Amino acid sequence: MSHGVLNPSRDPRVEDPSNLWLIDPLARRLVPLAVRHRISANMVSVTGLFIGAAAAIADEQWRQPSWALAGLLISLAWLIADSLDGMVARATGTTSAFGRELDGLCDHGVFAALYVALAVSFNDRATWCLVLVAAAAHAVQANLYEAERERFHRRLNGSLVEPVGRASRNPGVRFYYWVATCLDWASAPFDHALAGEPVRGRMHRDYERAAVPVLRMMVPLSQNLRIIAIFIACFLGRMKSFMWYEIVPLSLLTAFGVLRHRAVEAKLLRSSSSAS
């Protein structure tokens, strides 16, 4: 969860159930403690990165069930920290563009560490190539998925917000936002049409009704379910299958979800033009 400048409120209809029922409630209990001890949201993000690195170290020994279970439990602690940083930022009024960038980069850093650990566990060139392709696929999928979710939520909130981070000098940050915003041109016509309609008007309601199933379908792209998929692969002893799962099914799901979202927009634009 980011703690950036955009409204981070999330519609439970499109949220990962594990966030709703486990991760967020546990993180919420830690907010008073963090505020009382003046632990900033950025400190939580960086701490989460180290927790994620510890999970990667455990997952390197994935062939041993006890280590695989340890990797899952430590990963759950990281997910709690990832949820907590946004809650702390909002509770202390310290949301910022930098915080959003840091949070996103820390999330990618955790998965990068996990992929490296899994590649080291095989230690052969072919597997390293497979891991690199899976990691690249994951980065693109995660950015596009978050961009679609962010677009959905800001539309429901009735706001059109220009992307932040493009002016950063950090090449990693610039690439992060380039991927996240590379499809803005395709959704811009619908954003402009929506901006001309009353908030919660007919077009807003029609969009909400049509887009919810699309975003719900894309939930397997969430980092929570990827962590669970890694554990299942560890348990079954089929870690390479997880890599292929990232490369093929999740890439297809990303493409299909993005195209379906654009199709929803195009259909509503046509209906609006016909009505006019």
Q: pLDDT per residue over 199-235, tens digit each?
A: 677 888 999 999 999 999 999 999 999 999 999 999 8
pLDDT score at 98 = 79
Using an 8 Å Cβ cutoff, are 76 and 58 in contact?
no
Contacts of 260 (CB under 8 A, 6+ apart): 214, 217
pLDDT score of 163 more than 70: no
Q: What is the mean pLDDT of residues 94-122?
A: 88
Place of tokens 């908030």: 199
pLDDT score of 111 more than 80: yes
Superfamily of domain covering 12-275? CDP-alcohol phosphotransferase transmembrane (TM) domain (1.20.120.1760)
180 falls in which pLDDT band (50, 70, 90)?
A: low
7 falls in which pLDDT band (50, 70, 90)?
A: very low
Q: Dig out the tokens for 199 from the structure.
A: 């908030």
Q: What is the mean pLDDT of residues 92-97?
A: 84
pLDDT score at 3 = 40
pLDDT score of 100 more than 90: no
If we measure between CA atoms, which residue out of 245, 248, 232, 243 comes closest to residue 135? 243
pLDDT score at 5 = 34
Per-position DSSP letters for the chain, written without gaps between them: ---SSS-----GGGS-HHIIIIIHHHHHHHHHHHHHTT--HHHHHHHHHHHHHHHHHHHTTTTSHHHHHHHHHHHHHHHHHHHHHHHHHHHHT---HHHHHHHHHHHHHHHHHHHHHHHHHH--HHHHHHHHHHHHHHHHHHHHHHHHHHHHHHHHTT-------TT-S-HHHHHHHHHHHTTHHHHHHHHHHHHTS-TTSHHHHHHHHHHHHHHHHTGGGSHHHHHHHHHHHHHHT-HHHHHHHHHTHHHHHHHHHHHHHHHHHHHHHHHHHHH-
Q: What is the mean pLDDT of residues 132-152?
A: 92
pLDDT score at 179 = 65
pLDDT score at 228 = 95
